[in-house]
Each structure stands twice: as C-alpha cells, then as structure tokens.
Amino acid sequence: MNRIIVLDGVKAGAILLIVFIHLYNYLVYHPFTGHHGLIALLSSLALAGFTFVSGYTIYANNSVIRTREEIIRFYRKRVLRVYPLYVVALATFFICFQVLRFFPPLDLSLIEWLINAFCLQVLLAPAFTDPVFTLWFIGFIVLLYLLYPAIIMFSRTTIGTILISGGIFALLAALHLTLNIVDVRLLQYYFFFVAGIVAARSGVTCSRFGAGFRGRGAGIVVVSYAAYGVYLFHMPAFAVAAVIIGRLGLPWYLHDAVMCAVVVPALFAIAYSIQRNYDLRIKTKTGQKN
C-alpha cells in the first residue's frame, strides 16, 4: 500500500496528543488543572484515530486471506512488527515502575506480568489483572490482529464485514457482562477498527483532504513512522527524565522547558532511529515489503 498522507496525519496528530497528555503528569506547572474531561476526550480521540488507522492499513495490506498459509503468514508478519519491541517496552516498564518505583509505581504479581507479556491483559481484565498503563493498547491491537482473519475470511461484502464484526462484539460484550473479563476499552474502541476496515474496503482515500498537507508531508511521515516506538517508551522516558532533571534543582519553568523542548524531540528522534533499524533488520531477514 502506498502511503496515504491523511492516515499519516491522523497517526502523527494522535501520538502528539498522547505524548503531551502524558507529559502533563511530569511537569511542575499544570496549566490544564480542572480540565480532566477535556484531557479524557482528547485521549479518546487519539486512541480512536490510532485504531481506525490500524484497521485501514491492515485491510489495505491484507485484503485477501483465504488459506491456512495466508493466515500463518499474516500472523507471522504482525508478530514480527509488533511483539519484540513490545516485550522490550514491557521490561522497561517493569524496571522503571515496579523495581525502581518511579512515578507512578506499579505493584503487579508475576502472573499479572506474564499475562501482560502474552498480550492477554485486555482479554482477562479486570477480573485477573490490571493492564500495564499505556501498554494495554498494544494488547488491544494484538487481539484485533488475531480476530482480523476471521472477519475477512467469512465476509464477502461490506455488510458481511459489519455483521461478522458485530457478532464478535456481541460475544466480547457478553463475556464482559457475565464473567467480568474483556476490558471495557476494547468494546469502546473496537468499532473504530471495523470502521477502518470498511473505509479501506470501500476505497476511501481522503485524497481531497490530502491536498491540504502538501509541503508538510515529510515531517508528518517522520512523526507517524516514529509513533509506535514513541507510544511504547514515552512513559518510562518521561519518568526517568523527570527524576534526572528534578535532581538538578532547576526552577519550574526551566524544568518544564527541558521536558518539552529537549526530552520530547529526543524521544521522537530515538524512536524513529530504533524503528528504522528494526524494520531494516526484519526486511533483511524475511524479505518483507511492509
């Protein structure tokens, strides 16, 4: 699939929202105190955007899955792209928030960490575990990837896609209501993934909106490309940076300026480099195009 600048714009906007919403917890001055409703709304919009883009790009790159070999190939590609970096991030969260007790500290059992490690947190919460902060979203996306072949294999039309997706949603909702499993956020964002699939299946490209990004495409693509790495590591990065900068005894405005003007750009630069080098290794070993 050729890059669609509007989708990159949605991802870039979403990750910037997430970053600055969570950075807020590590600043000394809090300009949006008392506006929790607005912050929650912006966070929901960002996650909805991520989920929609995931659904769109998954269908655009995997519109036909019919055989067992194609299912295995799909899962293998998804696991390679998502899981190794996720495990590294999860280990970083464990060290920063459970071992070193950086803010906000965690107190999860070994079983709960293993549930998170196997990306079962969204399926088994809240009865059996609490998802690890922002990493719940990775478990959510992995579950959607697991469900995707079933949605595509048994639907020949857009209506079929919606009906099958609705049946899966009903099953998940029933599990949530009867067994107190399936994190409610899965139900909240599920249909944004389906909407992305439907949009891609219907050939929606948003080319008219894309014209408005001319001349700014390169920066948007860079931010979008770094988004996964930034999402994985921004919380421990902010926690570590806040501890180090806090020990310097800087005035609040210098502390916050360094967090915003130094830590955030460095995070994006490092995440971009990590993602690029990781993707090059994967392509070299597997010959994948995307």
Half-sphere exposure of residue 44: CA atoms within 13 angstroms, side-chain side: 12
pLDDT in tens, 41-67: 999 999 999 999 999 999 999 999 999
Per-residue confidence band for 208, with pLDDT thresholds at 50, 70 and 90? low
Residue 215: per-residue pLDDT? 58
Q: Which residues of 206-233 are buried (b: 16+ CB within 10 A; e: fewer)?
A: eeeebeebeeeeeebbebbbbbbbbbbb
Residue 204: per-residue pLDDT? 87
Residue 35: per-residue pLDDT? 80
pLDDT in tens, 233-282: 999 999 999 999 999 999 999 999 999 999 999 999 999 999 999 999 99
Residue 30: per-residue pLDDT? 82
pTM of the model: 0.93
CA distance 192 to 238: 29
pLDDT in tens, 86-130: 999 999 999 999 999 999 999 999 999 999 999 999 999 999 999
Q: Give residue limits of the domains in the chain.
A: 5-286
